[in-house]
Amino acid sequence: MTITTKQGDSGETYLCGKKLKSSLHVQAIGQLDELNSWIGFILTEELSEKSKQILTLVQDHIFRISSELCGMKPLESEVVESIEKWVTEIESQLEPLTNFITPGGTKASAKLHITRTVCRRSERVLVALRKSHDSNPDILKYINRLSDLLFLLARLENKN
């Protein structure tokens, strides 16, 4: 089987049924794919074991969100609860912020900051999709918490 089907040459895709490649569904799935790819890129860095474990699970969660956008199994609310637990756990290991921070520091931290901005862009497309199509509100909750988590992981990696 070849990867080249030539079915998309007219600007349509058969991902999640026949859709225009410019549709919000396809844009959202594309944004999530980019987000997941950045997380994979971060995982090539020297990271704490905790960061590796969390980011590996996050990659699975992002695939599950993409699947739900294609009408497959819905994201469980426990997934949102798990990310909230990680945010609380990591935040407790860091000093409270008293001012804005400039992204950077270690390579891993800088990549986490870039990934956070990709996450925020994904969130904007998901908000637009939710406005025009009924979708699971847990998806937006998860992506919103994920950007917080990525910010905290960037700070944690710099601290370590």
The pair of structure tokens assigned to 83 is 């990310």
Give the domain CATH number at 107. Answer: 1.20.1200.10
DSSP string, 96-116: PP-S---S-SSHHHHHHHHHH
48 secondary structure, DSSP code: -
pTM of the model: 0.90
Q: Would residue 16 be called left, alpha or beta, if left means φ above 0 and alpha means ψ between -120 and 50 degrees?
A: left
Domain span at residue 42? Answer: 18-92+103-159
CB atoms within 10 A of CB 97: 10
Q: Does residue 30 belong to any structural domain of this protein?
A: yes
Q: Does residue 3 belong to any structural domain of this protein?
A: no
Q: Does residue 10 belong to any structural domain of this protein?
A: no
The number of C-alpha atoms within 13 Å of 124 and in the hemisphere containing its C-beta is 5
Q: Does residue 27 belong to any structural domain of this protein?
A: yes
The number of folded domains in the chain is 1
Q: Does residue 98 belong to any structural domain of this protein?
A: no
State the SS3 of 111-130.
HHHHHHHHHHHHHHHHHHHH
The pair of structure tokens assigned to 144 is 């919103």
pLDDT at 75: 85
Q: Does residue 136 belong to any structural domain of this protein?
A: yes
User: For residues 158 and 100, is the Cβ–Cβ distance under 8 A?
Assistant: no
Return d(Cα 104, Cα 155) in angstroms, integer: 9
What's the gap between Cα 59 and its chain centre? 8
pLDDT at 108: 95
Q: Does residue 11 belong to any structural domain of this protein?
A: no
Task: Compute mean pLDDT per 10 residues along the chain, 160 residues long, and list them.
Answer: 65 66 84 97 94 97 93 87 96 93 93 98 95 89 97 94
pLDDT at 21: 64
Q: Does residue 56 belong to any structural domain of this protein?
A: yes
Q: What are phi and psi of 13, to 5 degrees?
A: -130, 155
